[in-house]
């Protein structure tokens, strides 16, 4: 990819542009100081960027081999760094969170009303300059950040020389200032020297490093910077600075999000309380804060978040934040000491409640016995890690011996008891099962949150936090356990090891899909034969889904490596695109999950699972904290072999087909026939899913047969996977007496309901289409925006 990449970026297409010119400067640390306002549906405050010159910017496209580092975190307990400013001062005149937006514009370093002042340089904004990442022939250098739907109010350079306690970093060989005042050049050199010293502190001195970051972020400004915003970026320059090497090293930005911004979702939880959370948007976090999004741009961060009293702030952070009360607001502080992509920054603010066991019974939280652990004896003495220095858990004996990391579960109040019954007992089991398979957990703690019904997925994994849909709480614990195992697997594949090119998402999703079976079998303590049979059953289900998706999706969206030979390449400035990254239908597709899974399944069949899992563990130990690229692996057709569990399902299908034939014949006779006695076999959850999928292939099922089917397996009480297939049968056969089940699914299981909307419309049945319009009208206000758009296109 050449330098013309930037000019080729077309925001009208479905490719997502990554605009940040990381080829010149890299953000190495963010300090955020933010306030959440539920009434206005905005987050406002400041973000301070600590920048480092990219000395190898001309070789960017050839030096992408190290460092995605969405890594693990600190191993040591530490006191929370001091507050960024006096909490009391923030709320002196604040009787409620509502008054947050009425405080003075620059009080305590935070912009609270971005509509009342404008520091943008209109002369530059109206001119033609500032559109290029690097300006020669006398033009000023422009720093480009990824940004969308943000109101930027002010940008300034921070005077780190004036930061408290910074004297220790001023070198003795620096010349004395004349008359107590440094020259402009000397001041710039001194600022750069201080920032370099902070960035260069050794990994074991991370606490000291973070204190310096915090102190510098509170230092006064030393001059406003000119800026422009456009659809996808924020451009910043300093008059007279023509090279990135002379650009300010610490920059403070005052900004505010917009209610319609795509990075966060403002909604209500299942108890009707307001909440906001990062929803895994296709545009990542650029509508939450200005940042650098290309994979090369890794950073650490600290964040102070002010939220209404009584609410809870959860975030990607190594520490378990304590709440600090200050009148109508509370402050929560989180930090991360590992270089991570800005896209992994995750926040959820709401009136969640922590789900705790009724009694603290240690046996409930015990991990699987050592005999159930896979390869627990194959631990390898690690060489020096291949990632940038940090307090790595893989090198720490205490972390290596940790069977289950600390964890918490949060949910809306109305789902507390159900979460306590279904989810809470599984977390420790699944975490321990994962550790038995892959070894040291990359992260020191994790929170699990049941998100609102409008969440557009069954789950999402981020560093230190997992989002789960309420759909996993339905039925028994099977769906919950499987999905939890999938998200836990992302801690290793997707976070600790990431794709160098974001279009190769199969590296993350394929590995997680494969490992969810292994983890869940281990958590259930299944025998080797039981585990093999269940995994083969899952393979069949996935093959059927993959076949359907291939038949019903655009061919371009099915490719695992859409950039082909250019995979991993970027322009010299660092800008690039994520192919099809803005396609609204892509986020609902499973092709990359399923194809990736079958790639790994094929390789497992060649070497055996035991050897293959040993390879997984070695892969983690070698590449944690780094980026990787895939190679073509689908050389042979994927094959599936029938097993006992599948034969059992096929036998049950035969019984139901015979019952249906008898029911249809008896419907033509007035005389009531004695019901034939049929013995049905008790089925596993995945067997039940396969049974319903096979019955969907039967041309016609009578209403009586469908009623018997629902009664036999209590389908209304099963998990969401089973109920989805039941709803498909209801739609196909126009089983009107069960339309209530269909309406309930569309309302309560929005993460999975999108497929049913399409089937309802394809059927071209007037009553079903009325049902679709009624449900959409009722739910569209709370729907995820992408889901809303896709459904609207289906029905209008």
List the catalytic residues.
487
Which letter does DSSP use for residue 637 in this model?
-
Q: How many CB atoms within 10 Å of residue 666?
A: 15
Which residues does residue 336 pair with via DSSP β-bridges, in sequence order? Answer: 301
Structural tokens at position 292: 């650098």
Structural tokens at position 550: 């291939």
User: Looking at beta carbons, which pairs linking 709-716 to residues 24 or more positions away fall under 8 Å?
Assistant: 709/656, 710/738, 712/680, 713/683, 713/688, 715/741, 716/741
Distance separating alpha carbons of residues 200 and 181, to the nearest angstrom: 27
User: Looking at beta carbons, which pairs linking 537-542 to residues 24 or more positions away fall under 8 Å?
Assistant: 537/643, 537/645, 537/646, 537/684, 537/686, 537/687, 537/690, 538/686, 539/601, 539/640, 540/640, 540/646, 540/690, 541/686, 541/689, 541/690, 541/693, 542/513, 542/594, 542/597, 542/598
519 closest CA partner among 487, 546, 555: 487
| Distance, C-alpha 457 to centroid of its chain | 11
Distances (CA, A) of 367 to 372, 402, 524: 10, 11, 11
- Maximum Cα interatomic distance, the chain, rounded to a whole number of Å: 112
Check: CB of residue 579 under 8 Å from CB of residue 7: no
Q: Give helix 528-552 / helix 506-523 axis angle, nearest 10°.
A: 150
Structural tokens at position 500: 């160098």
| Distance, C-alpha 627 to centroid of its chain | 17
Check: CB of residue 31 under 8 Å from CB of residue 302: yes
**At 332, is the secondary structure helix, strand, or coil?**
strand
Exposed e or buried b per residue across 151-174, where buried means at least 16 C-beta atoms within 10 angstroms of its C-beta: bbbbbbbbbbbebeebeebeeeee
Structural tokens at position 454: 């409008």
Distances (CA, A) of 278 to 8, 263, 289: 29, 6, 12
Q: Give helix 609-623 / helix 591-607 axis angle, nearest 10°.
A: 120
Distance separating alpha carbons of residues 161 and 180, to the nearest angstrom: 13
Q: Give helix 720-732 / helix 739-748 axis angle, nearest 10°.
A: 140
Which residues does residue 735 pair with via DSSP β-bridges, in sequence order? Answer: none
Q: Any residues with CB less than 8 A from the CB of 551 and at least 6 apart, and which?
A: none
Rounded to 5 degrees, what are φ and ψ at 287? -95, 10
Q: Any residues with CB less than 8 A from the CB of 711 and at least 6 apart, and which?
A: none
Q: Any residues with CB less than 8 A from the CB of 68 and at least 6 apart, and which?
A: 295, 298, 341, 497, 498, 499, 500, 625, 626, 627
Distance separating alpha carbons of residues 501 and 505, to the nearest angstrom: 8
User: Looking at beta carbons, which pairs linking 82-87 to residues 24 or more positions away fall under 8 Å?
Assistant: 82/214, 83/304, 83/324, 83/331, 83/333, 84/31, 84/33, 84/109, 84/214, 84/217, 84/218, 84/304, 85/33, 85/109, 85/218, 87/324, 87/326, 87/329, 87/331
Which letter does DSSP use for residue 291 in this model?
B
């Amino acid at each position: 990819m050449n330098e013309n990449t930037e000019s080729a970026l077309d925001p009208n297409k479905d490719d997502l542009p990554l605009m940040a010119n990381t080829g010149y400067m890299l953000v190495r640390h963010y300090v955020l100081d933010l306030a959440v306002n539920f009434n206005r549906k905005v987050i406002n405050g400041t973000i301070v960027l600590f920048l480092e010159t990219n000395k190898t910017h001309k070789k960017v496209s050839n030096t992408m081999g190290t460092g995605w580092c969405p890594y693990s975190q600190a191993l040591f307990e530490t006191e929370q760094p001091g507050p960024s400013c006096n909490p009391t001062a923030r709320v002196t005149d604040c009787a409620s969170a509502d008054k947050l937006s009425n405080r003075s514009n620059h009080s305590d370093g935070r912009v609270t009303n971005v509509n009342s002042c404008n520091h943008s340089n209109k002369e530059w904004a109206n001119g033609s300059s500032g559109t290029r990442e690097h300006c020669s022939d006398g033009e000023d250098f422009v720093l480009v950040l990824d940004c969308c739907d943000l109101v930027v109010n002010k940008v300034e350079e921070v005077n780190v020389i004036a930061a408290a306690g910074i004297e220790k970093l001023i070198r003795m060989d620096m010349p004395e200032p004349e008359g107590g005042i440094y020259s402009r050049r000397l001041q710039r050199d001194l600022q750069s020297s201080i920032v370099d010293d902070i960035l260069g502190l050794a990994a074991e001195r991370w606490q000291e490093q973070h204190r310096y970051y915090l102190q510098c972020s509170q230092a006064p400004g030393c001059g406003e910077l000119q800026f422009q915003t456009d659809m996808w970026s924020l451009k910043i320059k300093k008059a007279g600075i023509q090279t990135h090497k002379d650009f300010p090293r610490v920059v403070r930005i005052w900004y505010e999000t917009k209610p319609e911004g795509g990075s966060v979702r403002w909604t209500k939880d299942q108890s009707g309380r307001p909440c906001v959370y990062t929803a895994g948007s296709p545009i990542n976090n650029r509508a939450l804060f200005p940042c650098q999004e290309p994979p090369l741009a890794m950073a650490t961060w600290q964040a102070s978040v002010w939220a209404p009293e009584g609410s809870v702030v959860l975030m990607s952070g190594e520490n378990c934040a304590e709440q600090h009360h200050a009148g109508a607001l509370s402050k929560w502080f989180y930090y991360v000491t590992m270089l991570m992509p800005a896209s992994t920054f995750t926040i959820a603010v709401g009136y969640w409640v922590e789900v705790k066991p009724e009694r603290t019974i240690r046996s409930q939280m015990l991990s699987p016995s050592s005999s159930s652990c896979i390869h627990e004896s194959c631990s390898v003495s690690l060489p020096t890690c291949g990632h940038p220095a940090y307090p790595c858990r893989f090198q720490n004996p205490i972390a290596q011996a940790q069977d289950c990391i600390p964890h918490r579960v949060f949910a809306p109040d109305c789902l507390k008891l159900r979460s306590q019954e279904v989810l809470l007992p599984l977390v420790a089991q699944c975490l321990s099962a994962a550790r038995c398979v892959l070894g040291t957990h990359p992260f020191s703690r994790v929170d699990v949150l049941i998100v609102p019904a409008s969440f557009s997925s069954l789950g999402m994994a981020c560093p230190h936090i997992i989002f789960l849909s309420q759909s996993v709480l339905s039925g028994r614990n099977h769906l919950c356990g499987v999905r939890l195992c999938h998200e836990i697997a992302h801690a290793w594949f997707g976070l600790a090891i990431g794709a160098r090119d974001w279009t190769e998402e199969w590296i993350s999703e394929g590995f997680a899909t494969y490992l969810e079976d292994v983890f869940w079998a281990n958590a259930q303590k299944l025998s080797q034969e039981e585990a093999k049979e269940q995994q083969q059953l899952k393979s069949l289900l996935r093959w059927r889904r993959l076949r359907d998706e291939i038949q019903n999706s655009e061919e371009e969206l099915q490719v695992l490596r859409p950039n082909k030979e250019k995979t991993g390449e970027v322009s010299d400035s660092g800008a690039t695109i994520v192919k099809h990254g803005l396609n609204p239908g892509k986020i609902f597709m499973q092709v990359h999950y399923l194809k990736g899974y079958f790639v790994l399944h094929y390789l497992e069949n060649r070497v055996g699972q035991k050897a293959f899992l040993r390879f997984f563990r070695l892969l983690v130990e070698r590449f944690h904290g780094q980026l990787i690229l895939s190679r073509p692996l689908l050389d042979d057709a994927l094959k599936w072999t029938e097993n006992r569990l599948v034969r059992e399902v096929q036998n049950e299908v035969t019984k139901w087909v015979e019952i249906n034939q008898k029911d249809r014949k008896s419907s033509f006779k007035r005389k009531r026939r004695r019901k034939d006695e049929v013995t049905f076999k008790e089925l596993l959850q995945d067997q039940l899913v396969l049974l319903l999928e096979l019955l969907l292939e039967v041309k016609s099922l009578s209403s009586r047969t469908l009623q018997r089917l629902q009664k036999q397996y209590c389908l209304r009480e099963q998990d969401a996977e089973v109920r989805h297939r039941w709803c498909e049968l209801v739609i196909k056969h126009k089983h009107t007496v069960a339309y209530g089940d269909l309406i309930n699914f569309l309302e309560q299981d929005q993460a999975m309901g999108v497929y049913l909307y399409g089937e309802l419309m394809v059927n071209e049945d007037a009553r079903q289409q009325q049902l679709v319009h009624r449900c959409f009208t009722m739910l569209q206000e709370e729907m995820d925006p992408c889901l809303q758009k896709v459904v609207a296109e289906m029905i209008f």
